[in-house]
Amino acid sequence: MPEAVPSAERTPSQAEVAADAVAHAGPFESVDEVVTALREHGYIADTRLATTVFLLTRLDKPLLLEGPAGVGKTELAKMLALVTGRRFLRLQCYEGQDETKALYEWDYGKQLMYTQILREKIGQVVEDAPDLATAVERVGAQESVFFSERFLAPRPLLEAIRSDEPCVLLIDEVDRADEALEAVLLETLGEYQISVPEVGTFVAKHRPYVLLTSNNTRDLAAALKRRCLHLFLDYPSAQRELEIVRSKKTGLADQVAEELVAVVRGLRELELRKAPSISETIDWARTLAVLGVDELDPRILSDTVSVVVKYDKDVRKALEAIPHLVDPNAVVEEHGHGHGHGHEHGHEHGHDHGHEGGHTHDRPQDDDPPARSSRPAGGDPDDGDVDGRARRAAKDRPGRHADGYGNSAAAGKVSPSIRSVTPGQGARSFGARRRPL
């Protein structure tokens, strides 16, 4: 005998079951359909990524994408909204961000304006109050009027929950936000609801597709990861990156684009502060196409390397590596001061030049002036006499003054009252000073 169904339980109707199945069916019938749909909109996804997106749409779970900057994490959220026809909402995280910028805040300006408009009505409420306590109590009873949805300013999270139409919510660079924001996200990501103490709890009418991205600048809380599907999105294979570049219609010949991708992948193997991203590879391809490049050579790559390398030290490493990346047998020539790659050399212009990178002046070694040189008295102050010894020695010569100067008795004679001063005594009396090298 089959067990009786308790009277308190109600068997769902066929229509309700069908409606629930449609709601959770998702926009894609298979993983291959995800690949095709994204490709049609210019996003080249591999099977692993497409499988994760398919599960996101079927399981109603947020997706956490981790990986280096510029591998297509943010772009995936945009493409998913475009492919599914959903509204796109974005919360850009940053250091010091609090919950009011992510969830909601009260529109104080609007509240104040209404208070001024309703001042007369408020006066009527408290005009016959016998004492101050009673007046405050009456005003407090009306507090809910000013803390209602009318004065609630929704931010991206609340907006996604309250949205009347399905949406895609991107929580971008969540690792940049403080850990306190992660705690705020737990309710939203786990139950798709947000509690507002003054109003109540808002539950999502249509569960949004939620994607969180992280560049791994810090570890995220285990509680946050537990609520999400997870995928580490790394740089693509050479073949898929080439396919991405070709799909963007950069105007660069296929053979040149293939060589460029190989160069970029070689740069990523260097110990750079920031490795070139896929979007920067595309920008470099477009740059070379605009310049009419039909064959890669170290010179043109060196002149345009700043498109993909953004830090001075990285530029130096890239400039050294590029000739070998183009041709492993290339002989690298020393760069002089005439090259125009736009990176700084940190020259300190003084008497002694400390040029980084081994740059040298084009002049014979024999013509180099000594570090210190003597000069006659009254010479140019910039002629190399660093510590002034030559000038002091010249002033110590007997009979150097004209007649009548000081105690001089006659022309060419030194007064007996003035004894001669040796150069050594002069140097000691002046306290010879040296400039630091």
Predicted confidence (pLDDT) at residue 371 exceeds the cutoff of 50? no
Q: What is the mean pLDDT of the chain?
A: 75
Backbone CA torsion sign across 278, 283, 289, 291:
negative
- Taking only the tens place, the pLDDT of each residue in 234-243 is 999 999 999 9
pLDDT digits (tens, 9 = 90+) for 205-222: 899 999 999 998 888 989
CA distances from 131 to 119, 143, 383 (A): 19, 19, 92
Average pLDDT over residues 276-281: 93
DSSP 148-215: SGGGEEE-HHHHHHH-SS-EEEEEETGGGS-HHHHHHHHHHHHHSEEEETTTEEEE-SSPPEEEEEE-
Q: How many whole angstroms separate alpha carbon 49 and alpha carbon 298?
A: 35
Mutual orientation of helices 278-290 and 238-247 as an angle, nearest 10°?
A: 50
pLDDT at 171: 94
Q: What is the per-residue pLDDT for 360?
A: 41
pLDDT, position 384: 47
Helix (H) or strand (E) holding 104: strand 104-106
Task: Output the pLDDT for position 3.
Answer: 39
Across the range 382-397, mean pLDDT stands at 53
124-132: average pLDDT: 72
Q: Output the pLDDT for position 139.
A: 65
Residue 329: pLDDT band (50, 70, 90) is low
Lowest mean per-residue pLDDT among 88-102, 132-146, 386-400:
386-400
Q: What's the gap between Cα 234 and its chain centre?
A: 18
CA distance 307 to 119: 60
Of the candidate CATH numbers 3.90.180.10, 3.40.50.300, 3.30.70.980, 3.30.460.10, the domain formed by 22-104+152-232 belongs to 3.40.50.300
Q: What confidence tier does 194 reach under pLDDT thresholds 50, 70, 90?
A: confident
What is the structure's pLDDT at 187? 84
pLDDT of residue 317: 94
Sheet holding 229-232, edge to edge: 87-92, 167-172, 209-214, 63-66, 229-232
CA-wise closest residue to 209 among 66, 72, 88 = 88
SS3 string of 231-273? EECCCCCHHHHHHHHHHCCCCCCHHHHHHHHHHHHHHHCCCCC
Q: Which segment of 46-55, 111-120, 265-274 scores lowest on mean pLDDT?
A: 111-120
Report yes or no on whether pTM surpasses 0.75.
no
Contact criterion met (CB below 8 Å) for 304 and 284: yes
- Mean pLDDT check: name the lowest of 20-24, 111-115, 256-260, 268-272: 20-24
pLDDT digits (tens, 9 = 90+) for 90-109: 999 988 887 777 776 766 66
- pLDDT above 70 covers what percent of the chain? 60
Which range has highest mean pLDDT (51-55, 99-103, 155-159, 432-436)? 51-55
